[in-house]
């Protein structure tokens, strides 16, 4: 079951460790609960409900074929900028992703055209290797800014990201919170 635990934790400005201390568990368990790698029981939902001051029903997320979260507008250099107001509500496409996340392309960049919607299937840190040599949306650890490009492994656990447009500089990323290989492109003609 997908939940909104991460969303509410971030709204409260809590780290995984801080939330773990409040509910009496570890940061690793919080990470697993946030990414649906662990079953979320009613006991867990009740604890989070009390901390976030929201009903349990608010912690349960819609299925993947519900509203799709857009995380930014892709610009030169692989940077994601804030979304224009008309896109802040997200999308409702029928997609084949376990944990979908999307962006809208803002400039013509390599094979992508301005207005394209790229949908990625978010992978946890433990599974990032499945995203290697694919175009991905990524979130570096400790950052609120996503990037997009071809993800490759670096040395000593680091990563490299090659933005879509030719001639751009590779971006060195020390660690990633998640990576979402692109699984769907929506292009309006």
For residue 26, the domain's CATH number is 1.10.260.40
Residues 32, 82 within the same domain: no
What are 184's two structure tokens?
């769907």
The pLDDT of residue 136: 96
Residues 98, 174 within the same domain: yes
CATH assignment at residue 124 = 2.10.109.10
Dump pLDDT digits (tens) for 38-61. Answer: 677 877 888 888 888 887 777 876
Crossing angle of the two packed helices 42-52 and 16-23, in degrees rounded to 10: 110
Alpha-carbon distance of 163 to 108, in angstroms, equals: 12
pLDDT exceeds 80 at position 36: no
Provide, rounded to the nearest whole percent, the portion of the chain with pLDDT above 70: 88
Alpha-carbon distance of 63 to 4, in angstroms, equals: 12
Domain that holds residue 99: 70-186
β-pair partners for 120: 101, 182
Alpha-carbon distance of 75 to 79, in angstroms, equals: 5
Alpha-carbon distance of 135 to 132, in angstroms, equals: 8
Mean pLDDT of 98-112: 89
In a domain, 64, yes or no: no
* Per-residue pLDDT band at 70 (split at 50, 70, 90): confident
The pLDDT of residue 90: 66
CB 148 within 8 A of CB 118: yes
Q: Are strands 70-74 and 100-105 parallel, antiparallel or unpaired?
A: parallel
Alpha-carbon distance of 110 to 165, in angstroms, equals: 4
Residues 55, 25 within the same domain: yes
Tell me the whole-structure pTM to 2 decimals.
Answer: 0.55
Residues 42, 107 within the same domain: no
In a domain, 155, yes or no: yes
Residues 76, 165 within the same domain: yes
Residues contacting 7, CB < 8 A, separation 6+: none
In a domain, 85, yes or no: yes
The pLDDT of residue 128: 92
């Amino acid at each position: 079951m997908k939940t909104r635990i991460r969303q509410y934790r971030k709204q409260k400005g809590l780290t995984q460790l801080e939330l773990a201390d409040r509910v009496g568990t570890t940061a690793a368990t919080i990470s697993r609960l946030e990414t649906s790698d662990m079953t979320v029981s009613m006991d867990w939902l009740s604890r989070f409900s009390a901390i976030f001051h929201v009903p349990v029903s608010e912690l349960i997320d819609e299925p993947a074929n519900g509203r799709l979260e857009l995380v930014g507008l892709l610009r030169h250099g692989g940077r994601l900028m804030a979304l224009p107001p008309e896109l802040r509500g997200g999308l409702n496409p029928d997609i084949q992703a376990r944990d979908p996340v999307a962006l809208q392309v803002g400039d013509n960049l390599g094979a992508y055209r301005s207005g394209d919607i790229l949908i990625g299937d978010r992978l946890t840190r433990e599974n990032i290797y499945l995203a290697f040599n694919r175009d991905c949306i990524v979130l570096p650890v400790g950052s609120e800014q996503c990037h997009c490009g071809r993800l490759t492994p670096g040395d000593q656990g680091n990563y490299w990201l090659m933005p879509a447009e030719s001639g751009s500089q590779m971006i060195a990323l020390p660690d990633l919170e998640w990576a979402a290989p692109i699984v769907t492109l929506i292009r309006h003609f």
